[in-house]
């Protein structure tokens, strides 16, 4: 384990699996309420980190481009306790009318 920790020290964390759809929805609602306080549905507050802001459209190969948190964007969230990651559509589309 220590050997792996050392190799990961300057790389992004490696997710252990996805969140469920229901958990992703909880994360999305919490993020929209307060982006700085997003609790993990399983592990509670203080574990979720926003890894990056990415384009809402992920290309067919699964690669996401990093973008600015303006307009429509997605946030890549990562839980440091259950080691899961999810991308949520965080930017609210501008709707008029
Ligand atoms: Zn968690």
Mind listing the pLDDT tens digit for each residue in 19-40? 999 999 999 999 999 999 999 9
- 65, 74 in Cβ contact below 8 A? no
Q: What is the pLDDT of residue 1?
A: 47
User: What pLDDT was estimated at residue 46?
Assistant: 96
**Regions of the chain short of the pLDDT cut 50:** 1, 8-9
Angle at 68 between CA 65 and CA 96, to 5 degrees: 110
Give me ligand 1 centre to Cα 84, in Å.
7
Dist. CA 74 → ligand 1 center (Å) = 19
Give me the pLDDT at residue 39, please. 97
* C-alpha 40 to ligand 1 mean position (Å): 5
């Amino acid at each position: 384990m220590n050997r792996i920790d050392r190799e990961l020290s300057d790389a992004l964390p490696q997710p252990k699996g996805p969140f469920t759809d229901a958990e992703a929805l909880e994360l999305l609602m919490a993020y929209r309420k307060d982006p700085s306080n997003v609790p993990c549905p399983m592990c509670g507050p203080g574990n979720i980190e926003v890894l990056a802001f990415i384009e809402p459209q992920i290309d067919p190969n699964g690669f996401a481009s990093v973008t600015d948190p303006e307009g429509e964007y997605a946030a890549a969230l990562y839980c440091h306790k259950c080691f899961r990651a999810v991308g949520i559509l965080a930017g609210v589309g501008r709707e008029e009318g």
